[in-house]
């Protein structure tokens, strides 16, 4: 048996294997890039769909007694899909932490409001007479949420 005739076949097989590996790596890279682009377009889509949703109606309440805090906080909400219908103060400035009070709104809208404001604390105090779906009581941690 001639050994020299078999050696080129091994080289050919080796070249095919390398080619298959190279093509596989390129395909994997393309798939990874497509996944990354898909994820970034989903976050863009979420931002775009919020603009198509109706504005959430809120009352902004100064809960810590800082001068003009409710109006400053309401101003920071202007760029978001939130309509401030009233500004008020709590009778006693006792709030260290900001909180969302669900008055007439549903839990899906609460999640939207939490996402837009960054305020995660909430409580439910239903009231059909309240002028808005939600009340945001602004506490001493307000700087975390004014952007």
User: Which of 52, 69, 84 lies at the terminal end of a domain, its last residue?
Assistant: 52
More confident: 11 or 88: 88
80 close to 108: Cβ distance less than 8 angstroms: no
105 close to 79: Cβ distance less than 8 angstroms: no
Neighbours of 73 (CB within 10 A): 22
Q: How many domains does the chain have?
A: 2
Query: What's this model's pTM, rounded to 2 decimal places?
Result: 0.67
Strand partners, 138: 62
Give the pLDDT confidence score for residue 40 in this predicted structure: 64
Range of the domain at 1: 1-52
pLDDT in tens, 30-66: 988 888 877 765 555 445 557 688 999 999 999 999 9
* CATH code of the domain covering residue 66: 3.30.70
Please compute the mean of the pLDDT values over residues 71-83 and round it to a whole number: 93
Give the pLDDT confidence score for residue 51 in this predicted structure: 67
């Amino acid at each position: 048996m001639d050994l020299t005739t078999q050696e080129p076949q091994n080289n050919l097989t080796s070249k095919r294997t390398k080619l298959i590996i190279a093509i596989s790596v390129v395909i994997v890279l393309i798939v990874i890039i497509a996944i990354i682009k898909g994820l970034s377009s989903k976050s863009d889509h979420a931002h775009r769909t919020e603009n198509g949703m109706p504005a959430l109606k809120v009352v902004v309440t100064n809960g810590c007694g800082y001068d003009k805090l409710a109006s400053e906080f309401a101003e920071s909400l202007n760029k978001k899909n939130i309509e401030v219908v009233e500004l008020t103060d709590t009778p006693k400035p006792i709030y260290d932490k900001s909180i969302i009070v669900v008055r007439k709104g549903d839990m899906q809208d609460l999640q939207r409001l939490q996402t837009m404001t960054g305020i995660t604390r909430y409580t439910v105090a239903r009231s059909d007479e309240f002028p808005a779906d939600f009340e945001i009581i602004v506490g001493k941690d307000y700087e975390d949420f004014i952007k």
